[in-house]
Amino acid sequence: MKTLVVRFLPILPLIASPLLLTTPWTLRATEALDLARQLNVAFAAAAEKAAASVVVITVTSKTGGPAPEGNATWDLPDLSPEIRRFFEGKMARPEPAPARDLPVRIAYENQGSGVILREDGFLLTNAHVVENAEKISVRFPDGSDSLAEVAGTDAASDLAVLKVKTPRGRAARMGDSDRLKVGEFAIAIGAPFELDASVTFGHISAKGRQNILEDQGLDQDFLQTDAQINPGNSGGPLVNIEGEVIGINTLIRGMRTGIGFAIPINQAREVAEQLMKHGRYTRPWLGIAVRSLRENPEWRDVFPECRDGIVVKEIDAAGPARKSELRAGDLITRVNSRPVNTVGEFKREVRSRAIGDALSIEVLRDGRPRQIRMRSGPAPNDAGVGAAREATAATAQEERDLGMLLKPLPAELAQQEGLARGQGVLVGDVAAGSLAQRCGIKPGSILTDLNRHPLSSPRQFRDLLKATRPDQCLLLNVVSDGTARFEALRERE
């Protein structure tokens, strides 16, 4: 009889073996965590590096107007509703007037952000941050303060350069906005709602955004980002994962929408260089008015041979183009050998060369290609931009919104309806068949709120309306014949 000898291998080492315990899923989770840690370090390093060059700008401004009575809220028609509510509590008391009916000047503070351009005291911010400033104070990352003066502004690009009296901090590192790709990380740094050195992050959502604002002579070639931008971020930097400035934050589309816009830093640096040297920025100018086929598709029937391009609508008699072979009705397809499909692309190519440099322009005329060479000249005085803004504001009450002609609400009518001074806008007229008429809004009605925001001026109504999506329901509070009612407008014209 044979004896069966069974040998048992020790199983404890096998059970404890890391190789057997480590599954592919565990390996993937560990690798992912390592990558997350690396990304975390990269974001923190980029924010720390860039924040050392970000400043807080506090501007004291004064506006003229009648003295407010009692505890009435002083009207700030140029501010958005969100900023208005934020700053109402910060406004100083009006200066005493010698007579009741004389105008007074009301002081208020506004706050924005900025970037240190050079260590000898030059800062970059938005022009609207320092508009009408009487006193500018800059707070540096180390907490120190210095007074500053405006070295130059450019309304069309919404950029301003400041010069501080006591320089501090280090100059920001600049990136290359031309090399940006959609989807790259983006970090916004600034002081929203007085929260200094606030950091938000997201991505570059799009490049070359145009027609964000109604055309008022503004340069519009924005970076779009979903990094949160709020009131107070204006003038602060948008930076990349290396901590380099790639844009200057300047616009938001509504509140909490995740849609913000920044001026590409390459464009901002070009403007800033001239502002530091000359106090103003002079654009290369051809003296032509143009429209794009992409933005005006109904014109494509006129140019069946080409689906994209820039139509020359007018040629200024005093412009450089008048001396060239360019003609009204030409379709521009390329500038400097680069395709141009939008007005923004066309302007960018013209600006890419210095004033007086030769430009090569390819056009189609009567279906035949032509090549035209011309030189740009200096643009006329940009003061017209500010005038255009004032004219737009002055005529805003004559524009119709949802079929309504809106007007400021007279104080006596507000008192009669039991409304606070400065609250509400008056419906002067309603177009037949309009959305407003279909909802029962009549001339003489008073609109007190739009989308839960108290109304104080026709301009504010228009700004709130623009901030809503086309498919968004509009919520209106209406007072008519002493009766207050609520309307939900679901159809948009």
Report the pLDDT value the prediction gives residue 255, as an integer from 0 to 100.
Answer: 61
Report the pLDDT value the prediction gives residue 272, as an integer from 0 to 100.
Answer: 96
Report the pLDDT value the prediction gives residue 407, as an integer from 0 to 100.
Answer: 87
Report the pLDDT value the prediction gives residue 135, as an integer from 0 to 100.
Answer: 93
pLDDT by position in tens, the chain (length 493): 445 444 544 544 444 445 445 566 666 888 888 888 998 999 999 999 999 999 999 998 865 433 333 333 333 344 444 444 444 444 444 444 444 444 444 456 789 999 999 999 999 999 999 988 999 999 999 999 999 999 999 988 999 999 999 999 999 999 999 899 999 999 999 998 878 889 999 999 999 887 777 655 567 789 999 999 988 899 999 999 999 999 999 988 766 678 899 999 999 999 999 999 999 998 898 988 888 888 777 777 777 888 889 988 878 878 899 889 998 888 999 999 999 988 878 888 898 888 999 999 999 988 899 999 999 998 876 433 333 333 333 333 334 577 888 888 888 788 787 788 778 999 988 887 788 887 788 888 899 888 878 898 888 888 888 888 777 777 788 887 767 777 767 655 5
> Is the domain defined by 399-489 classed in CATH 3.30.70.270?
no
Range(s) within the chain of domains with CATH label 2.30.42.10: 284-378, 399-489
Report the pLDDT value the prediction gives residue 409, as an integer from 0 to 100.
Answer: 87
Distance of CA 480 to the CA centre of its chain: 36
Report the pLDDT value the prediction gives residue 107, as an integer from 0 to 100.
Answer: 55
Q: Look up tokens 């080409």; give the residue.
A: 306
CATH of domain 51-278: 2.40.10.120
> What CATH class has 284-378?
mainly beta
Range(s) within the chain of domains with CATH label 2.40.10.120: 51-278
Active site residues: 128, 158, 234
Distances in Å between the Cα of 56 and the Cα atoms of 157, 175, 395 are: 21, 22, 35
pTM of the model: 0.61
Report the pLDDT value the prediction gives residue 400, as an integer from 0 to 100.
Answer: 56
Report the pLDDT value the prediction gives residue 108, as an integer from 0 to 100.
Answer: 60
* Token code pair at residue 151: 């070295």
